Amino acid sequence: MEGAGSDMELERFLFFEHAKKAAESQYAINPLDADNLTRWGGVLMELAQFQSGPECIQMLKDAVSKLEEALKINPKKHDALWCLGNVLTSQAFLASDPEATLNFKKAAEVFQQAVDEDPGNELYAKSLEMSAKAPELHAQIHSQTFNKASPGASGSNVKGSKKKKNSDLTYEILGWVILAVGIVAWVGMAKSHIPAPAPR
Output the pTM of the full model.
0.72
Residue at 47: amino acid letter: L
| Helix (H/G/I), strand (E/B), else coil: 152 | coil
Q: Give yes or no for residue 160 having a pLDDT over 80.
A: no
Q: Give yes or no for residue 163 having a pLDDT over 90.
A: no
Rounded Cα gap, residues 98 and 76, in angstroms: 29
pLDDT band for 93, please (50, 70, 90 cuts).
confident
Reported as a single tens digit per residue, the pLDDT across 169-182 is 555 555 555 544 54
Instruction: Find out whether 132 and 108 touch, Cβ atoms under 8 Å.
Output: yes
Q: Which residue has the higher pLDDT, 145 or 66?
A: 66
Gap between the terminal Cα atoms of the chain: 20
pLDDT band for 192, please (50, 70, 90 cuts).
very low
